[in-house]
């Protein structure tokens, strides 16, 4: 470096030069400035980065909560109330964490919905989808483990029920249940190991899979609301190929805008409605765990409710568990079940749209019904809903083969 150039550099650029000679800073910057995405991404595409924000929020608030939480069955409940009352802004940390968990699932469900809308699971993005489903399962487990930690009535009995599901597995079930529980019934040992898993075991796994998910996405590039364009349409002026723009600054600022809107809604809930009518914070969880008294109105967590519904449908334990696991497992098969030539719902006929609409309605109704008092009529209705759920996937090879439409069908005429 000549003397003249050295005089022109500021301390900051000098430091940055020093740093980039020793760390791949420029390459890291290029991950954002040289990653190109289609310019026509709409608001359904913000939920990925929103979920990243919520993971960061959960980790931060979780670390602070762990500083005050005591993971024994005698002290867990008391430590949470101490956090709520005696720790400065402890109530804020707790509400951020509980509301964050529920909002995280709202974001994830919107994120998955986007993939269903625009066929983001199809070639070449099957692996992104598969890693995403693995992430979804890990998040469900993590959220469930976190729910057990306050050791209220709902926490205790949810852990008792969930671990007793394991006993229905043939041959190894009973021993597996004892191994997971650490005792003959859900107890302080169960709480303590769930704490270890929730705080460090599963987060490490999550971070690895999130990294893998992003790496896989970068490799194949993002989908767009138009879906992949077949080659012969490229010259069609009506459906112009979206031009590609760099992630930074376009999508960083767009995601920031979406984030602020979402934070407005999120903080409105945190500060004004943290219990959300018993859905985010169950009223039964304000009673300390009592192994001698089951609450009359056992409710699953709302984001686990559709899968809990599958459990309720069969009097045979093993069949119920198989139904529940296959409901999640069938998501893995989705990229190969969809035989449509076009990715996006914009280029499909009414079969796919109706099927997706029914599927979403089913999902919500299953979840809602399983959180209410079950009657025989309701169980019959839920069985129909569950069959519908599976039909969405099982019939997909059939209706997607015939529903491709090469002109764009607007949802509103």
Partner 1 sequence: MWKIVLCLIFFSYPSSLSGEEHISESNPAKHTSIDVTNLASLQRGAKYFINFCSGCHSLHFMRYNTLMVDLKITSETNSAIDNQRLSNKLIFTLAEPNDTIKPSLLRRDALTWFGRNPPDLSLVTRARSTDWVYNYLLNFYQDEKRPFGVNNHVVNNTSMPDPFAVLRQKIHPNYQTKNKISYEQPVKTEELLDYSLNASQDQEVIKLENIAADVVNFLAYVAEPSKMLRRALGIKVCAFLMIFLCLVYFLKRQIWKNRPPT
Residues in touch with partner 1 (CB under 8 A): 39, 78, 81-82, 84-85, 91-92, 95, 240, 242-243, 245, 249-250, 253-254, 256-257, 260-261, 263-264, 267-268, 270-272, 274-275, 283-284, 286-287, 295-297, 373
Least Cβ distance, residue 290 to partner 1 (angstroms): 10
How many Å from the N-terminal Cα to the C-terminal Cα in the chain? Answer: 65
Least Cβ distance, residue 294 to partner 1 (angstroms): 10
**How many Å apart are CA 259 and CA 57, to the nearest integer?**
13
**How many Å apart are CA 174 and CA 163, to the nearest integer?**
10
Least Cβ distance, residue 270 to partner 1 (angstroms): 7
Minimum CB distance to partner 1 smaller for 248 or for 339: 248
Minimum CB distance to partner 1 smaller for 153 or for 343: 153
Minimum CB distance to partner 1 smaller for 112 or for 305: 305
β-sheet bridge partners, residue 167: none
Is 338:121 a contact under the CB 8 Å cutoff?
yes
User: Token pair for residue 406?
Assistant: 């090469």
Taking the CA atoms of residue 266, residue 267, residue 269 and residue 271 in that order, the dihedral angle to the nearest 10 degrees is 160
Least Cβ distance, residue 101 to partner 1 (angstroms): 18
Minimum CB distance to partner 1 smaller for 154 or for 166: 154
Least Cβ distance, residue 184 to partner 1 (angstroms): 25
Minimum CB distance to partner 1 smaller for 215 or for 261: 261
DSSP 208-231: HHHHHHHHHHHHH----TT-PPPG
**How many Å apart are CA 177 and CA 190, to the nearest integer?**
11
Least Cβ distance, residue 76 to partner 1 (angstroms): 14
**How many Å apart are CA 334 and CA 393, to the nearest integer?**
7
Residue 243's Cβ-count burial label (10 Å; 0-12, 13-18, 19+) is exposed
Least Cβ distance, residue 220 to partner 1 (angstroms): 22
Minimum CB distance to partner 1 smaller for 40 or for 404: 40
Minimum CB distance to partner 1 smaller for 1 or for 260: 260
Question: H/E element holding 314?
Answer: none
Is 345:352 a contact under the CB 8 Å cutoff?
yes
């Amino acid at each position: 470096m000549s003397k003249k150039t050295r005089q022109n550099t500021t301390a900051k650029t000098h430091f940055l030069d020093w740093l980039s000679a020793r760390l791949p800073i420029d390459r890291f910057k290029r991950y954002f400035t040289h990653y190109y995405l289609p310019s026509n991404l709409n608001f359904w595409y913000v939920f990925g980065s929103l979920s990243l924000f919520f993971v960061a929020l959960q980790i931060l608030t979780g670390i602070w909560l762990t500083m005050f939480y005591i993971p024994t069955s005698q002290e867990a409940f008391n430590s949470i109330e101490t956090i709520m009352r005696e720790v400065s802004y402890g109530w804020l940390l707790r509400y951020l964490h509980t509301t964050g968990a529920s909002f995280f699932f709202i974001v994830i469900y919107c994120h998955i919905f986007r993939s269903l809308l625009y066929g983001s699971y199809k070639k070449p993005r099957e692996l992104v989808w598969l890693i995403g489903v693995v992430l979804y399962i890990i998040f469900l487990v993590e959220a469930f483990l976190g729910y057990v930690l306050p050791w209220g009535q709902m926490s205790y009995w949810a852990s008792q029920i969930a671990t007793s599901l394991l006993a229905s597995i043939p041959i190894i079930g009973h021993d597996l249940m004892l191994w997971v529980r650490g005792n003959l019934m859900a107890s302080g040992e169960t709480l303590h190991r769930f704490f270890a898993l929730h705080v460090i075991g599963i987060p490490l796994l999550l971070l690895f899979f999130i990294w893998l998910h992003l790496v896989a996405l970068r490799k194949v590039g993002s989908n767009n609301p138009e879906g992949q364009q077949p080659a012969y349409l490229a010259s069609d002026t009506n459906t112009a190929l979206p031009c590609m723009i760099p992630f930074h600054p376009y999508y960083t600022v767009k995601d920031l805008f979406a984030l602020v809107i979402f934070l407005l809604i999120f903080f409105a809930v945190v500060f004004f409605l943290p219990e959300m009518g018993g859905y985010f914070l169950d009223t039964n969880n304000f009673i300390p765990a009592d192994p001698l008294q089951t609450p009359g109105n056992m409710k699953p967590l709302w984001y686990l409710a559709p899968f809990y519904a599958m459990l309720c449908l069969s009097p045979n334990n093993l069949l119920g568990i198989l139904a529940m696991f296959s409901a999640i497992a069938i998501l893995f098969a989705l990229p190969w079940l969809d035989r449509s030539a076009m990715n996006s719902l914009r280029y499909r006929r009414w079969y796919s749209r109706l099927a997706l609409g029914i599927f979403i309605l089913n999902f919500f109704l299953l979840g809602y019904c399983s959180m209410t008092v079950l009657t025989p009529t309701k169980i019959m209705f839920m069985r129909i809903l569950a069959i519908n759920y599976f039909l969405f996937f099982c019939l997909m090879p059939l209706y997607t083969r015939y529903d491709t439409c090469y002109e764009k069908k607007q949802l509103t005429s």
